[in-house]
Amino acid sequence: MKLGIVGLPNVGKSTLFNAITNAGAESANYPFCTIDPNVGVVAVPDARLDRLSQMYHPKKTTPAVIEFVDIAGLVKGASRGEGLGNKFLGNIRATDAIVHVVRCFDDENVIHVEGSTDPLRDIGIIDIELIMADVEMVERRIDKASKAAKGDKRFLHEAEVFSALKDWLNDGNSARSFVCDEDDRELIATSELLSLKPIIYAANLDEDGFADYASNPYYHQVAELAAKEGAQVIPVCAKLEAEIAELDGDEKKMFLEELGIPESGLDRLIRASYALLGLISFLTSGEDECRAWTITRGTKAPQAAGKIHTDFERGFIRAEVVAYDDLMACGTMTAAKEKGLVRSEGKEYVMKDGDIVLFRFNV
Ligand SMILES: Nc1nc2c(ncn2[C@@H]2O[C@H](COP(=O)(O)OP(=O)(O)O)[C@@H](O)[C@H]2O)c(=O)[nH]1
Ligand SMILES: [Mg+2]
């Protein structure tokens, strides 16, 4: 699962990406940090895993990770191939969700391709390029479905749905906001449209007054638009994030305190990205390793066990589960057991975020 960092040129995408990769490099033993200069792997900050690790003092602590891709800046006309637009749009197509970086900082030394800071205009430019690229894809889909409908009437409906979607896109709307029933939504989801991908806005703010982002008018504009779309906006200062990512635990805490912010924007962005992908973590703990495992929301216990090892899924007997909060309230696993808070769950159990699990299996 990976997120594409998207936006106009010179909005701070690479600065943010470098901060992310740096944070990834800091986070211990992850081997893929440098798969590709444009792909970064980062640990998902998880205070629960940190606490577990303090309790168990394991030899190794392994966080959940996600991948970010630094996609080169899109410019006006990208969907018609301007500025290698087709290639960059293709890069976006290969991601599961989008982090749209919006320039909310003024800096005369950093050229703005459109000449001034104007977050809403900038978002509009990117949106239109994604939407126009989608129109092309949708047209091809309509052609295909119409041809198939000559032999098989079931494709008529498909052609109709995509035609309605095409009108919606041509009015300048994202596929994301297209209103239709569940079945049609699933049908549309088979088409890999760019403007259908889940999105988070990263408002890249000036370092001055970053702590007080709520009173920044640029931030407000992005926040208002995001609220209308039901999307999240995370305030970041790419420049500061890059500095913060170089610090270790205690230094980082002190620096954040000095800045007057409780958590780095990057950490918030990474957690929000994880949630945007529909991912949650369950935890395993022991003297050897404490670890956060990634599953999609709605995953049942045997499939979660399969993330650890296929044998665990094949020979699944049951899962012994304690909620993180319950374990913390009790202090130790033994105390949690005594209070009956360690539950025995079967094959149909739907995993919850923060479940601490021991799988019983037999192969
Ligand atoms: N003042 C300020 N400059 C920034 C910030 N983020 C990025 N920049 C600068 O903007 C320029 C372009 O940044 P870059 O990350 O390469 O943008 P990209 O083209 O979107 O990848 C660089 O000189 C950065 O140092 C920020 O938060 N504040
Ligand atoms: Mg760049």
pLDDT of 321 > 70? The answer is yes
pLDDT of 28 > 90? The answer is no
Cα gap 322→341, rounded to integer Å: 6
First to last CA, the chain: 30
Q: pTM, whole model, 2 decimals?
A: 0.90
Which pLDDT value is given to residue 38? 84
Which atom of ligand 1 has the smallest separation from the CA of 101? 20
Residue 286 CB: number of other CB atoms within 10 A? 12
State if residue 238 touches ligand 1 by the CB under 6 angstroms criterion. yes
Which pLDDT value is given to residue 36? 56
Identify the residue with better confidence: 347 or 20: 347
State if residue 10 touches ligand 1 by the CB under 6 angstroms criterion. yes
Give residue for tokens 């296929």. Answer: 310
Distance 11 CA to ligand 1 centre (A): 6
Two tokens at 191? 């088409």
Which pLDDT value is given to residue 33? 41
Identify the residue with better confidence: 41 or 316: 316
State if residue 256 touches ligand 1 by the CB under 6 angstroms criterion. no
pLDDT of 213 > 60? The answer is yes
Mutate to test the pocket of ligand 1, among 22, 99, 106, 107 (most ligand atoms within 8 A of CB): 107
Closest residue by Cα to residue 158 from 168, 143, 145 = 145
Contact 210, 12 (CB under 8 A): no
Q: What is the pLDDT of residues 303-313, one digit of tens each?
A: 999 999 999 99
SS3 of 196-251: HCCEEEEEEECCCCCCCHHHCHHHHHHHHHHHHHCCEEEEECHHHHHHHCCCCHHH
Query: Mean pLDDT throughout 157-163?
Result: 97
Which pLDDT value is given to residue 37? 64
> Distances from the Cα of 158 to the Cαs of 122, 143, 166, 260, 322, in angstroms?
33, 10, 12, 53, 46
Which pLDDT value is given to residue 330? 95
